[in-house]
Amino acid sequence: MAKSRPSVARNRLLLFPQHRTFRGPRWISGFNPEPPPSDNTIPEAPTSRNALTVRACGCLIGGCDIASPASPLPRPSPTLEISSVRSSSAFIHFDKRYLIVLGACLTQFTIIGLLFSYGLFFKTFETEFGWSRTLLSSCLSFAFIVMGVLAFFGGRLSDRYGPRLVLAVAGTLCGMGYALLSQITQPWQLFAIFGLFIGVGMATHDVVTLSTIARQFRQRRGIMTGVVKVGTAAGQITIPPIAAFFILIYGWRLALMILGISAIALLLVAALLMKSPPASARSGKGTDAAGSHFQEARRTRTLWMICAIQFSFFSTVTTIPLHIVVHGMDLGMTPALAAILLSVLAAASVVGRLLVGTLVDRIGGRRALILCFVPLIASLLAFLSITTPWALFVAVPIYGFAHGGFFTVMSPTVAEYFGLQAHGAIFGLVLFFGTIGGAAGPILAGRVFDLMNSYDPAFMALAVLAALGLVLVLKLPSSNPGMRH
């Protein structure tokens, strides 16, 4: 039997299944709005936009033209709702907010990884230019100061214009800074580059990314912040070996040029992944943007207590990673064994970031801060009493857990107390106070060792400062649970 070519009516029939009639074993393309009653006509079933009526009878073998019009036709099969199919396959739906998490991770990975790679160039700069380690460390401290000052403005710009533009500009400047380092010949150039280029990139990598995460994830704010901060640990582990390889193969100048250009590319990709919050969130309309204006928050005692808490621990989290390796060598470790301490610290910090990030969603920022301060104080006191090298491998993981937890807990805590109305500006102010301690801590610890040939006074001072921070945490008022959930 010759098959007829599809007609316009047949194509139209595909859009109106309720008008199909069944004659024999196959669908016949007849547009029959009111089919006459007969034994061979399938009764109409209620249809909808999301309903697919499956009818089967006779010979359903594909391409079969055998017809038996005299044979009785079975009743139509039940209607299969497409909506139920969609819901059953909902597990394959991809939440686009995870692209924002990826962009934030990539930003943290690149900026912090490059920052940790800077120490690899110390020996080269000492040999080629005769610059002291005090000079080389001071330019990094200067970058921390710039970071603290600009973090506040970066947060406000992110609140107003969204993260994409802010991170794109800052990332480009940061990458240009590392590329320009390949051309330095004078100390003032080092300070200019760290202040005008690298410091700007450091100023936005935390406040903009974590503020965006806080806005996008209301229910899982803590754990998503922890996931983003895992990117920091990944950068610390991954980028320095790559930089060392480039130095070995291409020399330090070309290595810095490659790192700078690669950083621009990575940070621009990361910026494109960062989706701006809804206009209602930036303008203060809607439930997700509920909270205090910056002018209201700065008049509260709670904000200044949180700023002091940030200062109390941030000096430690910048001092210990810089000095723990040389402290291990002072106790008798080989350089290779002492370097493993940083890997142990990074691994423990990943656990701290994820666990504290999970807990802060459940127990709140105040209790999560206590959970971070207790191991921090314990590890600092342990550093005071350790006289054998192997004991550092017990104390460093305890410190690493607290280290990672602190980098996760503060952004959700700010959102918990002050909401999202001006989260970027408020969090930027908190970071500013932290970077003051972060800039001073490493230099003062090095100066103490130069004067007393021991890190013990520095460890004691950091422990006392951390204890004061714990006292402030205990005095924090109860937060608004609605802000957390």
Q: Where are the domains of the chain?
A: 8-91, 95-287, 290-485
| C-beta of residue 240 within 8 angstroms of C-beta of residue 113 | yes
Q: 126-141 pLDDT, tens per residue?
A: 889 988 877 887 888 8
In this structure, the dihedral spanned by the alpha carbons of residues 275, 281, 283 and 286, taken in order and rounded to 10 degrees, is: 150
Fold match flag (95-287 vs 290-485): yes
Angle between helices 207-216 and 423-452 (to 10 degrees): 140
Average pLDDT over residues 389-416: 92
For tokens 């582990």, the residue is 237
Q: 43-67 pLDDT, tens per residue?
A: 444 444 444 444 444 443 444 444 4
C-alpha Rg value of the chain to the nearest Å: 31
| C-beta of residue 396 within 8 angstroms of C-beta of residue 273 | no
Give Cα 162 to chain centroid, integer Å: 16
pLDDT band at 394 (very low <50, low <70, confident <90, very high): very high
**Please, what is the average pLDDT of the chain?**
79
pLDDT band at 483 (very low <50, low <70, confident <90, very high): low
C-alpha–C-alpha distance, residues 8 and 18, integer Å = 17
pLDDT band at 76 (very low <50, low <70, confident <90, very high): low
Average pLDDT over residues 198-225: 85
| 12 or 385, higher pLDDT | 385
- The sign one gets for the Cα dihedral 407, 106, 174, 323 is positive
| C-beta of residue 102 within 8 angstroms of C-beta of residue 216 | no
pLDDT band at 305 (very low <50, low <70, confident <90, very high): very high
Q: 319-352 pLDDT, tens per residue?
A: 888 788 878 888 988 877 877 888 888 889 999 9
Percent of the chain at pLDDT exceeding 70: 76
- The sign one gets for the Cα dihedral 141, 229, 344, 243 is negative
Checking if the pLDDT of 91 tops 50, the result is no
Checking if the pLDDT of 172 tops 90, the result is yes
Percent of the chain at pLDDT exceeding 90: 35
Q: 367-393 pLDDT, tens per residue?
A: 999 999 999 999 999 999 998 889 999
Helix and strand counts by DSSP (H, E) for the chain: 20, 4
The pTM of the whole model exceeds 0.75? no
| C-beta of residue 179 within 8 angstroms of C-beta of residue 260 | yes
C-alpha–C-alpha distance, residues 392 and 327, integer Å = 10
Tokens describing residue 173: 């400047």
Q: Which CATH number fits domain 290-485: 1.10.443.10, 3.50.50.60, 1.20.1250.20, 1.10.275.10?
A: 1.20.1250.20
C-alpha–C-alpha distance, residues 204 and 224, integer Å = 18
CATH fold for the domain made of 95-287: Growth Hormone; Chain: A; (1.20.1250)
* pLDDT score, position 277: 56
* pLDDT score, position 1: 47
